[in-house]
Amino acid sequence: MIKLFITATDTDAGKTYVAQTLITALIQKNLKVAAFKPISAGCKKVQTQQGTQLINEDALLLSNVANCQQSIEQINPVAFEEPIAPHIAAQKQNCTIDLAFLNEHYNKITTNSCDVVITEGAGGWRLPLGGGRFLSELVKTTDQHVILVVNMKLGCLNHAVLSYESIISDGLACVGWVANCPETMAYLDENIAELEQLLPMPLLAKLDNETDIEIAAKKFNLTPLISHV
Ligand SMILES: Nc1ncnc2c1ncn2[C@@H]1O[C@H](COP(=O)(O)OP(=O)(O)OP(=O)(O)O)[C@@H](O)[C@H]1O
Ligand SMILES: [Mg+2]
């Protein structure tokens, strides 16, 4: 099974967009793909037969593309209503974000008969969970490989290199990066070329502004990922 964790240089950098695109590309290769969004903050309250449920937009988008018949609760087990740092949302409810629970939940997803599990992080690489813990610890305990999404804009070289260094210093494998280019950037090609020198891992895709996920999915080079089965 391929286990991939999608992180980014920042919040709003394109993690969900890249996750949707990658899941679609893998399904185009006839693979069974499950999705996981361990923690979300920014949800709608929805009334269901089971009571009130918090539904996160990213979880919905991932559920729309993944093909392992997962419920929204399975995709996103920890959800907070307000769009704020998750550990602050947890503190406001007098609760803590439990890494052991997330780890167990992830292990249940891996028992689905799927070929790939794509996890979308929250924020950037070092997302605090409170009490000195970080979401990056889950990536280590669940033995996932990391994909770094770089939102191509001024300042991204610094953010990309710092994120890469941090992932590697955690003892994790960074299997590739994505140049996400929804906005125009001066000297975009030169910046991508510089990152190809600075980041010793393959560029998996350069994604331009494209709302059709099926079209964007064709741009992914899956070879470096599929060799990690
Ligand atoms: N290459 C692209 N082409 C078109 N739209 C894009 C592209 N990349 C990102 N977007 C859009 O930009 C917005 C932010 O991207 P996205 O939601 O994927 O970021 P994120 O890193 O998942 O954010 P968060 O930290 O909130 O989870 C979304 O509306 C998304 O659809
Ligand atoms: Mg997202």
Is the CB of residue 39 below 6 angstroms from any atom belonging to ligand 1? no
Q: Specify the 3-state DSSP secondary structure of 22.
A: helix
- CB neighbours of residue 195 within 10 Å: 20
Task: Identify which of 224, 222, 227, 220 has the alpha carbon closest to the alpha carbon of residue 18.
Answer: 220
Per the CB < 8 A criterion, the answer to whether 49 and 87 are in contact is no
Is the CB of residue 69 below 6 angstroms from any atom belonging to ligand 1? no
What pLDDT does 228 receive? 56
Is the CB of residue 12 below 6 angstroms from any atom belonging to ligand 1? yes
Task: Give the DSSP H/E element, type plus range, for residue 78.
Answer: strand 78-80
In our burial notation (b when 16+ CB lie closer than 10 A, e otherwise), range 111-138 reads eeebbbbbbbbbbbbebbbbeebbbbeb
Both tokens of residue 82?
Answer: 């307000």
Report CA(49)–ligand 1 centroid distance (Å). 31
Point out the ligand nearest to the CA of residue 83: 1
The residue behind tokens 């286990």 is: 3
pLDDT tens column, 53-78: 999 999 999 999 999 999 999 999 99
Report CA(55)–ligand 1 centroid distance (Å). 18
Q: Tell me the average pLDDT of the chain.
A: 97
What pLDDT does 229 receive? 45
Residue bearing the CA closest to ligand 1, atom 3: 209
Looking at residue 93, its amino acid is: Q
pLDDT tens column, 135-145: 999 999 999 99
Nearest atom (ligand 1) to Cα of 42: 26
What pLDDT does 49 receive? 85
What pLDDT does 191 receive? 98
Does this model's pTM top 0.85? yes
Q: In what order do the strands lie in the sheet with 33-36?
A: 33-36, 116-120, 2-8, 145-151, 174-181, 203-208
Point out the ligand nearest to the CA of residue 62: 2
Best mutation site among 5, 16, 56 for ligand 1 pocket (most ligand atoms within 8 Å of CB): 16
Q: What separation in angstroms does the CA of 129 have from each of 38, 66, 212?
A: 12, 27, 34
Nearest atom (ligand 1) to Cα of 83: 26
pLDDT for 9 beyond 50: yes
Nearest atom (ligand 1) to Cα of 123: 25
pLDDT for 165 beyond 70: yes
Determine how β-strand 51-56 pairs with β-strand 78-80.
Answer: unpaired
* Average pLDDT value for residue range 160-164: 98
Report CA(51)–ligand 1 centroid distance (Å). 30
Domain ranges of the chain: 2-33+99-223
Looking at residue 229, its amino acid is: V
* Average pLDDT value for residue range 152-164: 98
What pLDDT does 50 receive? 82
Confidence of residue 85 (pLDDT cuts 50, 70, 90): very high
What residues are annotated to the active site?
A: 37
pLDDT for 112 beyond 90: no
Instruction: Say if domain 2-33+99-223 classifies as CATH 3.30.70.270.
Output: no
Is the CB of residue 58 below 6 angstroms from any atom belonging to ligand 1? yes
